[in-house]
Each structure stands twice: as C-alpha cells, then as structure tokens.
Structure 1
Amino acid sequence: MDAVVFDLDGVLVDSERTWDEVRRAVTAEHGGTWDGENTTRAMMGMSTPEWAEYLATARGVRLPPDKIAQLVVDGMVHRYSEGPPLLPGAVEAVRATAERCPVAIASSSPPALITEVLRVTGLDDVVKVALSSELTGAGKPAPDVYLAAAKGLGVDPTKCVAVEDSTNGIRAALNAGMITVAVPNEHFPPDPQVLARAAKVITGVRELPAVLDLLSGP
C-alpha cells in the first residue's frame, strides 16, 4: 500500500442530501422534473458538466447546462459558508492516514468546493493531491480521476487504497485497479453486488486506520 485516495462527498463530508436539495430546487424553479431517488442515484459520481447536462436533457431543466452548474455550485458554496457538514472522525482519519502514507482526494465535486473543505478543515497541509473529475476526464464510474490522483502522487494505482461510498464511486475505484474500502452511504446505499466487490466494508471513515493496519499486515 503506497497511498490512500479519499472520495469527498459521503466519505468525509455528509453532503449528498445537500446536493440533492440544491439540485431539486434549481430543477423545480426552472421547469424540470425530479424522479425521486432515481434522479439522485443517476447523478452520483458524475462530474459537474455531466450532471448539468443530465438535468438539462433528461430532467428538462430550461437552462443551458453551464447556467445550471453555476446556480447549483453557488447554492452549495452558500450552504458551506458556515462550514461543511463533516462526517464524524473524518479529519482525524485523514490525518492518521497521512502519517503512514501519502493521501489524495479524488472527487466529483467542483474544485472550489474541494478547496473550501480542505481550507476549513486545515487538511490542505497533508493532502498532497486534490482533484475534481471535471478536470480529469469522464466522471465516475470511469476511473479517470483515480488514475490521475495516483499519477499525481507518483504511485502505482494497484498499490493504492481508495475510500468510497457510492455505487459509481466504488466502480470507479475498482476500474482504476485500486484496493477499495467502502463506506456505504446511509442515505443512498450502493448496489449490493457492487459493494460485494470491495476489499473491506466499514460503517464510518473513523474505522479506516484500523482497516489499513489489516490491509498492510503480513
């Protein structure tokens, strides 16, 4: 194990419901329709350009995709203005992991939100690489952002542990050849068949340091 790559939303930040609320509001305000959890699940792992295009074409939002993206991201930045909704033990888990190997972020969030979370938490001093899928190619389940994170760290992706919560995120990490630790999202649980392919399943990111001991043991 040469490095650990963390997803952000659903792993370190409990933001999936916030994304859901902001996107729903923009969709409703601009003539689109929302198909319950089917819409939410469809967008999990998509990069910003991908989910904005999806809302315009599949859900009928009457705005150009770039305007949809702007409204949603502005809404998320406003929600984060009082601090991102960190999951219990998230900051401590990243710091404990960074003491043993390099760490990175590979997220579908836009760069501005990734930067804000790292700044507010102070993790920008230990996270060596932080990448958004909107800058690295296709969104999850494509492996692009994970492969780019491994390249940025200068490590073999097959010797990296990825920490993920969603169906498309787990698929992306597996497609990159990474050892995958799953932290199932309690609000939008991953597909059981995809979850079964993870090397380990934990109930919260605070459990990660102990799992890393097992994965790197004799």
Structure 2
Amino acid sequence: MNAVVFDLDGVLVDSEPVWEEVRRAFVADHGGRWQPDTQQRLMGMSTSEWAAYLSGELGVRMTADEVARGVVEQMARRYEDGVPLMPGAVETVRRLASRWPLGLASSSPRALIDVVLDRTGLAASFRATVSTEEVARGKPAPDGYLLAARRVGVDAAGCVAVEDSSNGLRSAHAAGMRVIAVPHPRYPPAPDALALAAYVAEDLGDLTAERVAAAMDAAG
C-alpha cells in the first residue's frame, strides 16, 4: 500500500511570508534581534523549538511559552482574514486523495493546522495529520513523517512526501520516504537538501498522479 504525505507551510499554504512577517515583528517588538539566516533556520522547526530559539538566541525578553502563545495568536488572527493558499493546492490535494490515502506532516501547531484545513474544506481529504508539537523532534528529524506514516497505516518506505524547505526535505528523506520537492520561489531550499528529492516540481500543477506514481515505483 502507498500513500502521499504533504507538508503544509510553503507547499499548500503560502504562509512562510506571513510567518516571517509576524515573527520578525514580534522579535523587534520584544527586544530581540532578527539575524540574516533566521528565517531559513526557523523553517521546519516545531513550535517549542522556534519559540526557544526566539527567546534564547534572538534575545526576545519573554519565556519560550509566552513567545509561542503570542506568535500563534497573531498567526490565527491573520488566517481569519483568509488562508493564503498556494496556486492549485485544493485541486492537487483532491486529485491525489482520489487515488491514495493522504497524510500531513506539518511544523505548524495543531491549532493552525485545524484552522487551515477547516477553512479550506480539505480536512476530509487527509486520513491523518501530524503537528511536530506531537513528536520529540521537529524537522529535519524524521519524527513527524514517521508518525504520519503510522497514522495513515502505510510503511514510510511506501510513502511519497511533498516538501519545499531544506529541513522538510531532509526530514522526509531521513524517514525513508521518496521526496518530491516543490520549492518556494522566495525561500528556495539549499542545494544539498534539494539533491535529496526524487523529482523537483515547478509547482503544484506539475504534481500529477502519474508523477507521484513514478516516484512510488522508483521507491519500490
């Protein structure tokens, strides 16, 4: 049995610019200092990991729990104005869900995952969803993808993951999945991470059932 496991931020939702804007402003407003590599380092971290990073490394004068609560509340308010879906996200999810069971392995907190899936009407398309809040380690560790595979009921080796970020590509590959990369034009992955992908798609429209099946066959 095979399955497809999607990332959320940067793949289905164009949320990375929103995350950057919200967290950058939060850092500035609370005495911290944003670094040139901060956004790339944050992509893929679990909530507890990025909150600790903002508090400990960037100098935000709040505890990690306070940072996480404040940033997530601001993100939820932004989503109330509409979820910024990537072009073709709904069509791609429904197209692949008609052929394979789908999972989701996201670094977003559970509250935001549920808001996005409910507001976009995609909740029913996923057999299982995972937030890296629910595992010991965020991406690039494989924990989130391994749990998603278990919840879907498919061995990780039988899964194709769809990812955009360096840490996400590394995470899915470490889990033993074949990976299709859909790089975000504003936040491209590092070359060594992109090299882990079985296929690099131009966009979600390039993610056809035939393309996914070819990746699965290669995995087998």
TM class by smaller structure? over 0.9
CA shift for structure 1 position 215? 2.8
Q: Secondary structure at the match of 1:87?
A: coil
Q: Distance in 2 between matches of 1:162 and 1:202?
A: 12
Q: Which residue is 2:170 aligned to? A: 171
**Matched pairs, number:** 217
For the pair 1:68 / 2:67, whether they are aligned, the reply is yes
Q: Secondary structure at the match of 2:212?
A: helix
Whether contact under 8 Å (2:159, 2:216) holds in the other structure is no
Q: Secondary structure at the match of 2:127?
A: strand
Q: Secondary structure at the match of 2:66?
A: helix
**1:74-113 matched pairs, under 5 angstroms:** 74-113=73-112
CA shift for structure 1 position 207? 1.6
Unaligned segments of structure 2, at least 5 residues: none
Q: Distance in 2 between matches of 1:20 and 1:56?
A: 16
Alignment deviations for residues 25-65 of structure 1 (CA, whole Å, 9 cap, x no partner): 110011000013x0111111000000000001110000000
1:203/1:45 Cα in 2 relative to 1: closer, same or farther (>3 Å)? same
Whether contact under 8 Å (2:160, 2:216) holds in the other structure is no
Q: Distance in 1 between matches of 2:201 and 2:93?
A: 15
Q: Distance in 1 between matches of 2:53 and 2:121?
A: 34
Q: Secondary structure at the match of 1:105?
A: strand
CA shift for structure 1 position 206? 2.2
Q: Distance in 1 between matches of 2:12 and 2:117?
A: 11
Q: Secondary structure at the match of 1:162?
A: strand
Q: Return the TM-score normalized by structure 2.
A: 0.96
Whether contact under 8 Å (2:128, 2:151) holds in the other structure is yes
**1:1-218 matched pairs, under 5 angstroms:** 2-36=2-36, 38-209=37-208, 210-216=210-216
Q: Return the TM-score normalized by structure 1.
A: 0.96
CA shift for structure 1 position 126? 1.5
Which amino acid in the other structure matches residue 4 of structure 1? V
Query: Runs in 1 of length 4+ with deviation above 3 angstroms?
Result: none
